[in-house]
């Protein structure tokens, strides 16, 4: 299949690996920011075939993983106490809140529905005029256009007075800055998320490169993409060069998708955001603009988040900041598993812990198919 098979070509992957082996002379730590990249790096065994000088650490690139308990608690409150029809992406249902998960709330009778698009939630609101419908809007910049579009659709004509979104959007560039400011994190270069840059373009990364003197290479998600991106990053590091490069040029354009950006900017504005396991990152999220406050579930239901998280033995925060890896957790694969997760990284398909649990088999000879 075009744009799939050729980017899983084992010969091309090993060609890039040979080039990396020839140029690497020092130990380097590289962080991929996106959970989809984490999944691919682990599933295809790329983290195991790299030279020992190269350490890959996994960043806060899973939106489900970084959604704080406080927001999940509000979603549960809406479904249980306010009896709304709560719509969500499937991964969110098993993430632990303070007392229960959305899945447990659903099992107890709450009307919680798994959807693939927020526009489906708008249709549900139209079909159920006597019920309030709330879409749990989680994600990075990638999903923001669709969530914003749902608000615009709901506001057409006389407007739907029974639709709103509970927003938990987070932004990638501020997270990279927070990682670089963390005194316990050691990262020499980043693989940036191709799908985010497809929407937002590359411009937000230039100030980060200038300030922190790190290479940032935008990559796709297939083995060839990632190996080429790693080669580009390591080449910069070995030469003492720091710049933004775009490996994913077949999809990502310098200016991004202007129409998608316009939709985002019409509905959302930038705000501070709490990240699960990390804490408050300034200017790192989206909230609904006052012009659309009737579609903001926080304002419609007068909700107040309690940002104090339950203290658990989960080390998700250290994993999301690249300080530790999943197998550094004493509960990994025993007390904590996808069926019994202690924390969000073991829940989401893009979570680092779930990726290691499901795919990390260093002895397997991966063929990238």
65-to-31, 83, 326, 362 alpha-carbon distances in Å: 16, 26, 13, 25
Residue 298: per-residue pLDDT: 97
326 lies in which domain range? 322-359
In a domain? residue 339: yes
Nearest CA to 4 out of 265, 273, 221, 315 is that of 221
In a domain? residue 5: no
CA distance 294 to 51: 54
CA distance 335 to 337: 7
In order along the chain (369 residues), what is the average pLDDT of each group of 10 residues? 78 96 97 93 94 95 89 96 95 88 96 96 97 96 96 92 96 96 94 96 97 97 96 98 97 97 98 91 97 97 78 82 92 88 83 91 58
62-to-37, 152, 202 alpha-carbon distances in Å: 10, 26, 20
CA distance 273 to 87: 22
Residue 307: per-residue pLDDT: 64
Q: How many domains does the chain have?
A: 1
In a domain? residue 348: yes
Give the DSSP letter string of 203-218: GGGHHHHHHH---EEE
* Helix, strand, or coil (residue 67): coil
In a domain? residue 312: no
CA distance 270 to 284: 7
Residue 195: per-residue pLDDT: 94
In a domain? residue 246: no
In a domain? residue 18: no
Residue 122: per-residue pLDDT: 97
Token readout for 38 is 């984490």
pTM of the complete model? 0.92
**CA quadruple 255, 260, 266, 268: dihedral positive or negative?**
negative
CB 199 within 8 A of CB 146: no
Token readout for 120 is 């489906």
In a domain? residue 212: no
In a domain? residue 151: no
């Amino acid at each position: 299949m075009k744009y799939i098979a050729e980017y899983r070509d084992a010969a091309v992957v090993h060609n890039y690996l040979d080039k990396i082996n020839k140029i690497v002379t020092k130990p380097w730590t590289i962080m991929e920011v996106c959970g989809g990249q984490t999944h691919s790096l682990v599933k295809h065994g790329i983290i195991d075939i790299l030279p020992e000088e190269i350490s890959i650490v996994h960043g806060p690139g899973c939106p489900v993983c970084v959604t704080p308990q406080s927001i999940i608690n509000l979603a549960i409150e809406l479904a249980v106490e306010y009896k709304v029809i709560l719509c969500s992406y499937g991964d969110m249902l098993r993430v632990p809140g303070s007392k229960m998960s959305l899945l447990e709330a659903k099992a107890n009778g709450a009307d919680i529905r798994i959807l693939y698009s927020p526009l489906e939630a708008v249709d549900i609101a139209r079909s159920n005029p006597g019920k309030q419908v709330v879409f749990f809007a989680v994600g990075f910049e990638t999903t923001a256009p669709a969530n914003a579009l749902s608000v615009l659709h709901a506001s057409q004509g006389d407007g739907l007075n029974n639709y709103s979104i509970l927003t938990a959007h987070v932004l990638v560039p501020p997270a990279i800055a927070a990682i670089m400011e963390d005194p316990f994190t050691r990262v020499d270069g980043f693989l940036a998320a191709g799908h985010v840059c497809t929407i937002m373009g590359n411009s937000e990364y230039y100030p980060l490169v200038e300030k922190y003197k790190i290479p940032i290479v935008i990559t796709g998600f297939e083995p060839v993409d990632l190996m080429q991106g790693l080669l580009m990053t390591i080449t910069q590091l070995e030469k003492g060069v720091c710049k933004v490069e775009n490996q994913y040029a077949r999809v990502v354009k310098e200016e991004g998708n202007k129409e998608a950006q316009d939709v985002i900017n019409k509905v959302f504005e930038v705000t501070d955001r709490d990240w699960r396991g990390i804490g408050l990152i300034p200017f790192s999220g989206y909230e609904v603009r006052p012009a659309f406050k009737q579609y903001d579930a926080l304002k419609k239901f007068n909700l107040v988040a309690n940002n104090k998280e339950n203290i658990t033995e989960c080390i998700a925060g250290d994993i999301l900041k690249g300080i530790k890896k999943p197998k550094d957790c004493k509960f990994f694969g025993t007390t904590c598993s996808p069926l019994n997760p202690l924390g969000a990284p073991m829940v989401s398909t893009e979570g680092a812990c779930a990726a290691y649990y499901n795919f990390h088999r260093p002895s397997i000879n991966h063929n990238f198919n």
